[in-house]
Amino acid sequence: MSEADGQGAVVDRPVYTVEPWFVREPELRIDRLAQSESVFALSNGHVGLRGNLDEGEPHGLPGSYLNSFYEQRPLPHAETAYGLPESGQTVINVTNGKLIRLLVDDEPFDVRYGRLHHHERVLDLRAGTLTREVEWTSPADSRVRITSVRMVSLTQRAIAAISYDVEPVDESIRVVAQSELVANEALPDLGKDPRVAATLESPLVSEEHVANGTKVLLLHRTRNSGLRMAAGMSHEIEGPESMAVDTESSADVGRLTVATRLEPGQRLRIIKYLSYGWSSQRSRPALHDQVVGALAGARQTGWDGLLKEQRDYLDEFWQGADIEVDGDAEIQQAVRFGLFHILQAGARAERRMIPAKGLTGPGYDGHTFWDTETFVLPVLTYTQPGAAADALAWRHMTLPLACERATQLGLTGAAFPWRTIRGQECSGYWPAGTAAFHINADISDAVIRYVDATEDERFEREVGLEILVETARLWRKLGHHDVEGVFRIDGVTGPDEYTAVVDNNVYTNLMARRNLQGAAAIAMKHPDLADRFGVTTEEAASWRDAAAAMLIPFDERMGVHPQNEGFTNHARWDFAATKPDHYPLLLNFPYFDLYRKQVIKQADLVLALHLCGEAFTPEQKARNFEYYEALTVRDSSLSAQTQAVIAAEVGQLELAHDYLGETALLDLHDINGNTRDGLHIASMAGGWSGLVAGFGGMRAAEGRLRFAPRLPGGISRMAFRLRYRGNRLKVTVTGESATYELMDGPGLKVRHHDEEFTLAPDGKPVELPIEQVPSPPPSAQPIGREPAPRRIDPHGRDQRIRDHR
């Protein structure tokens, strides 16, 4: 919804106010309803509820999800070929328990009718609740005030709860409230964009429905995947003595109805407890009892108890994760918003995946990708390490399927899927899917990072070792030593999906080298387990030999590392002739044209500069960054955060700030226009990465934390907290100095730029100066693909460019 100002220009009002700890929607924006449903989604990693209005209509996209609960569907191919997956998996909208419909003197409460005097929704990032306040006059002139508070429990995994209050404003009213469970809701057509979900009609088949007192239970199974789920609701009702209460159930609908008359000063309150469970193996009675038991536990805790548990959980999280930003209020809000949703995506996933959209929407069919291990798990590893361990344990559980896939492809070891829900490959486009073997190294890198950050030896033995061993076996089979003894990995796709099936992608080779070295090291550390998995001395030696001989291409003529062999010889994409509305390119140009040009969808070689920084000199980093900036169009939301980190490292602080804004504000500002399909969880991680790894210069390996902090002009102070090896640290950065404080833990050594010091349990904070260095000239981006500047001078010019003149 847009407004015109006095000059005739169109001004789009901000959807949300900018506040440090809240996301507030001060008025209902029907035109942005689907975006807000994603932004206001609540989850705990097991249950996810989109932020739909309580009454269900109007809606952009209804959505209630259970992690890894999916329906199977055929995956058609224009031409059949060996090794292509035959079926796909799609997350489905499960039984909706959010619904509470209201009639006021026989008029349904619907914001599209009558008069809406006030409508505000607030997501509280410390309380973990979504609050809605409404004042509405019905078409029959009955005025009512409605307040609802919604939560998905971070402490009781199966539970969500809603408090729903109705009050008359100035005169007596008759109200009827209907609390419902509804399965097989009709969903809108989401179009043909490959990034959205396939729509499945009526995927749930009823097995049982029960209504008893104020409790209702519905059980369903999926038609094809054979999964079973149950949803239950139970209620506490407060109101006038004269109330009529009734419950009923049918195959796809359960309903509790409360009817009463409210005089001024009276209130009807309904506390609705929801419980969800699913299983691929448990019987219908067992699942029934599980959900009923969870409801009993929630009612015993009570509404106030659930709120207290939620606040206590989040208080503990923020003690080890919060980031404070002075000077950029939008970034301050956005980074906390991102951390909150990252926590929600993985807090109680408990050996299930973290999807690309979390549980906020059906985008990408609910699949998980390499995004999780490369972008999301670093945040969780240093803020909520238990959630990172659970996500990697899920990968370990799917390892037999990955080994089966490798065998099908004629390889040894494990070939983890490019996209999946339950561990099977679901990508029907093999150049960007099957050929992207770097996912093996991404998972192994996350294992190595987690073990380094936690010293969790049990995890290392029970989960990490087997993952590292089986992924190393794949690289040893996939690659080969050429006649000169160099180890090559040919015919693969790196992170950049606009350059597919190439030889010796630098990112892939560097990450594979780390994978091989890590596998050899862990086998030596745990010879008993290595022997159990059949690792011989000769095999471990072959991993070390392959790592030592790994080919890392370098173009002496251009003075840069080519993204892959021959990349710098390709023709450059004609950016000047590309219309702004032809981005993203993948929706407007054939892949064969993209594959043979120098045009980059997302950071690839630049991602290697971040994750494998030790392989490059400072001069190479600066030169590589400048070269690839001119080619990267950022058609992937994953790119900006990596560009922010490396821009900061090479001294382009204002450009880093611009990229930080793009990644952190992607969903709050709906920059890509597709937040309706769910939040971009990996992009949200970019807020943390841009600040901590970018402006904080944080790197960690082999038991050492390193920082190289520097701030852009638009941020005057930054403080962040993280966890490392049993320590909780706080790092505060200003323009002149950085202060390191050990909040609790046994202590550790830390490096600040080139100076090493020790943080001891009984020591004081250490403050060290930040060396001021000249900023290099800003790098150029493809025409029309520059990030929006975070700093504007009074004359409206880009402050980033002016600062460097």
User: Which residue numbers are catalytic?
Assistant: 497
3-class SS of residue 416? coil
Six token digits for residue 428: 């029907």
How far is Cα 805 from Cα 793, in angstroms, rounded to an integer?
A: 14
Q: What's the length of the chain? A: 805
Per-position b or e across 461-485, b if 16+ CB within 10 A of its CB: eebbbbbbbbbbbbbbebbeeeeee
681, 358 contact by CB (below 8 A): yes
Residue 171, C-beta contacts closer than 8 angstroms, at least 6 positions apart? 142, 143, 264
Per-position b or e across 87-100, b if 16+ CB within 10 A of its CB: ebbbbbbbbbbbbb
The 10 Å Cβ neighbour count of residue 768 is 16
Six token digits for residue 183: 């399965």
Edge-first strand order for the sheet with 173-182 is: 107-108, 100-104, 173-182, 253-262, 243-249
- Relative to beta strand 143-152, strand 699-701 is unpaired
How far is Cα 695 from Cα 685, in angstroms, rounded to an integer?
A: 15
746, 755 contact by CB (below 8 A): no
- Relative to beta strand 571-572, strand 597-598 is parallel
Residue 537 burial (CB < 10 Å; 0-12/13-18/19+)? exposed
Q: Which of 426, 438, 417 is nearest to 365 (CA)?
A: 426
Backbone angles phi, psi at 341, to 5 degrees: -75, -30
3-class SS of residue 206? strand
- Relative to beta strand 100-104, strand 107-108 is antiparallel
336, 325 contact by CB (below 8 A): no
Q: Which of 723, 721, 743 is nearest to 732 (CA)?
A: 721
Six token digits for residue 623: 């030169």
599, 573 contact by CB (below 8 A): yes
Helices and strands (H and E) in the chain: how many: 20, 35
DSSP 80: -
3-class SS of residue 753? coil
How far is Cα 383 from Cα 41, in angstroms, rounded to an integer?
A: 21
Q: CA angle, corner 338, sides to 333 and 340, nearest 5?
A: 95
3-class SS of residue 229? strand
How far is Cα 68 from Cα 367, in angstroms, rounded to an integer?
A: 9
Give me the DSSP letters along 424-469.
Answer: S---S-TTTTTT-THHHHHHHHHHHHHHHHH--HHHIIIIIHHHHH
How far is Cα 338 from Cα 380, in angstroms, rounded to an integer?
A: 12
Six token digits for residue 668: 């709050």
**Which residues pair with residue 387 across a beta bridge?**
none
How far is Cα 352 from Cα 157, in angstroms, rounded to an integer?
A: 13
Q: Which region, left, alpha or beta, applies to residue 173 given φ > 0 means left and ψ of -120 to 50 means alpha?
A: beta
